[in-house]
Chains A and B, each alone.
Chain A
Amino acid sequence: MTDEEIRSEVTGSVWKIQVKEGDTVDEEDELLILESMKMEIPVEAPVDGVVKKILVQEGEQIATDQVLVIIESN
């Protein structure tokens, strides 16, 4: 089991968080939706695992490469 840091690929804000800590997720499940350039940008789980930590809140401004979520992969 390893921790996977899910980072933002864009500068923008957090629009919606779709999971909560402790949730089990599959690869390609939507974790949260960011907003940038007036677009909704979904962030997907890159691996199967469990949501270990959510580091942002809805409405929060975020920078490129900022860690959003940590997933403990199976």
Chain B
Amino acid sequence: MSDENKTGMPDLYPPMEEMIAELEKRREKIRAMGGPEAVEKQHSRNKLTARERIDLLFDPGTFTEVMMHGHHQSTNPMMQGRETPADGVITGFGEINGRLACCGAYDFTVMAGSMGMIGEMKMTRLRQWALARRVPFVWLLDSAGARVQEATGSQFAGSGGLFYEEVQMSGVIPLVAAVMGPCSAGTAYIPGLSDFVPMVKGNASMALAGIHLVRAATGEEITEEELGGSRVHTQISGCADIEVKDDRECIDIIKKYLSFFPLHCEDEPPRVEPTDAPDRAEDELVGIVPTNPRKPFDVRRVIELIADDGEVFEIKPKWARAIVCALARMDGYPVGFIASQPKAKGAVLDNDSSDKAARFISLCDAFNIPLVFLQDVPGFMVGKAVEHAGIIRHGAKFIFAMSDATVPKITVVLRKAYGAGYFAMCGREFGADAVFAWPTAEISVMGPEGAVNIMGRRMIEAADDKEAMRSMMLAEFKKMIDVYIAGGWSFVDDVIDPRETRSKIIRALHLARTKRVERPRKKARRFPGIKLDEDGIMRKAFSDDVVITCAMSGVIAGRNQCPAIPYTVEEYAEEARRAFEAGAAVLHIHARNDDGSPSYSPDRYAAIADGIRAKVPDIILNFSTGAIQITKEEKIAPVIHYKPDIAALNMGTMNYAKYSSKRKDFVFEFQFINPIFEISFLLTKMKENGVRAEMECFDSGHVSTVYPLIDQGLLEPPFQFSFIMGVVGGMDASIETMAQMKRLAPEGSIWEVIGISHEQWRLLAGALALGGNIRVGLEDHFYTEPGVMASSNGDLVAKAARMAGDAGRKIVQGAEARSALGLT
């Protein structure tokens, strides 16, 4: 109804055009940030504004800003009259080289980029988005820290959640924190907890306490640059990764870094079309490493000669230089190189190089990037200085991270591999997928000189010509550590010509690509500050929790066969209650009319579902879509209408039959038609409506069909499977086949077994033992034991629950069951 303004009062309902003009005016003001003067000042410091930085980071036209209208809401007198466009932080998402990412950019032109309450609420929401959508998160930091004009006293006790959240994100999605201006006090933990930290020379600084606080606390006089400038953190402290000359270079390097990473930990790193032959052999490799193990060389050149197109992206190039950590590509696939650097400290491992390697390895492992180790390592540093500084503790981090990594690991021994250095750099016994050795390789508990000095000391002292004795013993020891001795024991997988290094690594990585590592379950990885516990899905796969589904009615059997089958809404609700009380967490619904005939009507489905929910509110609902002789639109209509938690999805076309060996004939046989275009259609609709697909697989090919659907982005984890076993035309009803089906499904999938007819019970026992969920109900089988028909679905669920309990599984319902199924 349109209101006419008859009163002469201001118009409460102006026309839309006017309102749009108002919107545009507001937008324009917000986009102007802290105003022309502040922008000018920002530019005069050789800094771009937050909006200019975002424009450079994201592909043109792809950045979508959100929450731009946010501004401070503080009643603190110090905030009165202040305007804070976007509340000092620009938040949104867009595409970086065609791939999605979220970004929060602090705007120094608005109250020095200080973190206000509304700005942080925006950031919290954005972090949650990035984590839930599984896309990388980028911070562009240029902030004076907490906005003291808003924060008061003990409210501090309720702050800090951003760091907790960042830790939850770590290892799930890539985290980049670029320091492009000040980043002081607690804010410094944002880069501290993230994966990759570039710092802009001259403008960036970070420190737990700024210079004024330092002076007050300790009397130390120091400049910001000396305290926590880019040189300090990229060369001395190791807290940042790369020093860049200006904002533009900073943005470029973020883009380059992200190009090596998948969007999240369950995705594969992106391959680029290789432009470099996998078997390229470089003659320069022949002379690059001096055969005398005392002589230094630059291992970065070795990596350049091996990697695709000589392109190497070094992480922390100027800190702990005795080890080189670098991202590169091999045959188009991202890999992480960990290489001994004899040019720096003789490649002797110490505290900092151990920390550097450990952190890099766990980063690559978290994001499925294979590792290549190039060894020329004389061991860990010895002596009082390093022992007192805890070299055992730091070295343990390196050995821990390397052993813990489950990505493919290839080792090439270029020359020396002495002592624990050989272990840390992925020796054979540390899960190395292949160990190659150059002819110069010496794998030994220690070098010849050390060994002779210790083991031959008495013989040398007793000899007339001590030097001659020493030389002879050295020569003897050298023979003992010859590479062909290790080769003879098959402790190295091959001795190779240095020119073959590239092709051997590529081939070994090719074989290792399908690697699967199963480990004993741990509650948490005891490794400080680097990687998350196994993610939720992994945990569920090995969990004791079991979810029981009850398929109450089906549409084929009738009351004449089993009187307990529900037809009316009341009967459905009553059966649901019995099933739930006996332990069922999920109900699989086929709707029927009051006369027992099948119904595909959205209204009937809704009536039954509402009836059930009224009686058992905690139940999880799963609608069938499997029916013959109706269209795909009809199949999905009840799902779209009611949006149950889950809907069944049949994953392939097949013969569907029942055979009687007594009659020597088929009881029935028909074709169950589920073409891929229809599966895709149903899946798209389920995804649009936020309904989980329960993928019903009758044979192995049905399981394998998920991989192209995952590739197309139609399916996202967690994946939920049902294996229906024992249908003639599908897979047989054996535990061996069940194990095979589990293996075919993507790692960490949720799965249940549906057994048809009397084989049901032993299949359920198998599923319980293999870690699966189970389904029972009158749709599948009427009898609790031979000749004893169930009086309700409750009887069947009760037996299933008993079996689960006896098998040591814990029955979960309600919120616990939702968590076990990964439903949100």
Interface size on B, residues (CB 8 A): 20
Q: What is the 8 Å Cβ interface bit string for chain A, positions 9-53, against chain B (1 contact, 0 not)?
A: 111000000000000000000000000111111100000000000
Q: Which residues of B contact A9 (CB under 8 A)?
A: 344-345
CB of A64 closer than 8 Å to a CB of B = yes
The 8 A CB mask of A58-71 against B (1 = contact, 0 = none) is 00000110000000
A39→B344 CA distance, assembly (Å): 10
Q: Can you report 14 A-B residue pairs in the complex whose CB atoms are below 8 A from each other?
A: A10-B345, A10-B348, A10-B381, A36-B346, A37-B348, A38-B378, A38-B447, A39-B296, A39-B347, A39-B378, A41-B344, A41-B346, A42-B296, A42-B343
Q: B343 to chain A: which residues have CB within 8 Å? A: 42
List chain A residues, Cβ under 8 A from B381. Answer: 10, 37
Closest to B389 in A: A64
Q: Is there a chain A Cβ closer than 8 Å to B36's Cβ?
A: no
Tell me which residues across on chain B come within 8 A of A38, comparing CB atoms: 293-294, 378, 447, 449-450
Q: How far is the CA of A13 from the CA of B449 in the complex (A)?
A: 16
B379 CB-CB contact with A under 8 Å: yes
Contact of B296 among A10, A37, A40, A63 (CB under 8 A): A40
Which B residues touch A37, using CB under 8 A? Answer: 346, 348, 378-379, 381-382
The answer to whether B385 touches A36 (Cβ under 8 A) is no
Residue of B nearest to A46 (CB): B235
Interface pairs A-B: 4 shortest CB-CB = A39-B346, A41-B346, A37-B378, A37-B348
Contact of A39 among B294, B383, B385 (CB under 8 A): B294
Residue on A nearest B348 in the bound complex, by CB = A37
What is the distance, in angstroms, from A4's C-beta to the closest C-beta of chain B? 13
**Least CB distance, B759 to chain A, in whole angstroms:** 67
Question: In the bound complex, how far is the Cα of B342 from the Cα of A36, in angstroms?
Answer: 12
| B45 CB–A CB distance under 8 Å | no
> In the complex, how many angstroms separate the beta carbon of B397 from the nearest chain A beta carbon?
20
Pair A11/B295 contact, Cβ less than 8 Å: no
Q: Nearest-CB distance from B331 to chain A (Å)?
A: 33
Within 8 A of A (CB), among B333-368: 342-348
Contact A40 B385 (CB under 8 A): no
> When the two chains form their complex, are residues A41 and B450 in contact, meaning their CB atoms are under 8 A apart?
no
Known: A36-B348, A39-B348, A41-B345. A64 touches B385 (CB 8 A): yes
CB distance from A30 to the nearest CB of B (A): 10
Interface positions, chain B 375-405, Cβ under 8 Å from A, are: 378-379, 381-383, 385
Contact-residue bracket for chain A = 10 to 19
Main secondary structure of the interface of A (DSSP, over half): loop
List residues of B whose CB falls within 8 A of some A CB. 293-296, 342-348, 378-379, 381-383, 385, 447, 449-450
A57 to B727, CA, bound (A): 87
A7 to chain B, nearest CB (A): 12
How far is it, in angstroms, between the C-alpha of A39 and the C-alpha of B295 when the chains are bound? Answer: 7
Cα A40 to Cα B346 in complex, Å, equals: 6
Determine the chain B residues whose CB is within 8 A of the CB of A41 once the complex forms: 296, 344-346
Could you say which residues of chain A place their CB within 8 Å of the CB of B345? 9-10, 36, 41
> Across the two chains, which residue of chain A brings its CB closest to B290?
A40
Cα of A40 to Cα of B296 in the assembled complex, Å: 6
Chain A positions within 8 Å of B383 at CB level: 11
- Measured CB to CB, the nearest residue on chain A to B378 is A37
Query: In the complex, A39 Cα to B322 Cα: how many Å?
Result: 12
On chain A, the residues within 8 Å of B379 by CB distance are 37
> Within the complex, what minimum Cβ distance (angstroms) separates B224 from chain A?
19
When chains A and B are docked, how far (Å) is the Cα of A10 from the Cα of B386?
Answer: 10
The answer for the CA separation of A37 and B379 in the assembled complex, in Å, is: 8
Provide the bound-state CA to CA distance between A36 and B294, in Å. Answer: 10
CA–CA, A36 to B379, complex, Å?
Answer: 12
Measured in the bound complex, the distance between the Cα atoms of B716 and A7 in whole Å is 55
CB-nearest residue of chain A relative to B384? A11
In the assembled complex, which residues on chain A have CB atoms less than 8 Å from the CB atom of B447?
A: 38
Chain B hits for A39, CB < 8 A: 293-294, 296, 342, 346-348, 378
Instruction: Give the complex CA separation of A7 and B296 in angstroms.
Output: 19
B314 CB, min distance to chain A CBs, angstroms: 16
Bound form: Cα–Cα A42–B379 in Å: 18
Nearest CB of B to A9, in Å? 5
CB distance from B651 to the nearest CB of A (A): 60
Q: How close is B420's CB to chain A, nearest CB, in angstroms?
A: 13
Which of B346, B378, B385 touches A11 (beta carbons < 8 Å)?
Answer: B385
Question: Which residues in B have their C-beta under 8 angstroms from that of A63?
Answer: 385
Q: Enumerate chain B residues within 8 angstroms of A42, measured Cβ to Cβ.
A: 296, 343
Q: How far is the CB of B389 from chain A (nearest CB, A)?
A: 10
What's the least CB distance linking B390 to chain A, in Å? 15
Which chain A residue has the least Cβ–Cβ distance from B342?
A39
CB distance from B439 to the nearest CB of A (A): 20
Evaluate contact between B294 and A40: CB separation under 8 angstroms. Answer: yes
* CB-based nearest A residue for B382: A37
Docked pose: A40 CA to B378 CA in angstroms: 11
Additional pairs, 14, CB under 8 Å, beyond known A38-B450, A42-B296: A9-B344, A10-B348, A37-B378, A37-B379, A37-B381, A38-B293, A38-B294, A38-B447, A39-B294, A39-B296, A39-B347, A39-B378, A40-B294, A64-B385
Distance of A25 from chain B, by nearest CB (Å): 17
Roughly how many angstroms separate A9 CA and B296 CA in the complex, as a whole number?
A: 16
List of A residues within 8 angstroms of B293 by Cβ: 38-39
Report how far A40 CA is from B449 CA in the complex, Å. 14
Q: How far apart are B637's CB and chain A's nearest CB, in angstroms?
A: 72
Q: How far is the CA of A41 from the CA of B383 in the complex (A)?
A: 17
> Which residues in A have their C-beta under 8 angstroms from that of B344?
9, 41
Min Cβ gap B501→A in Å is 22
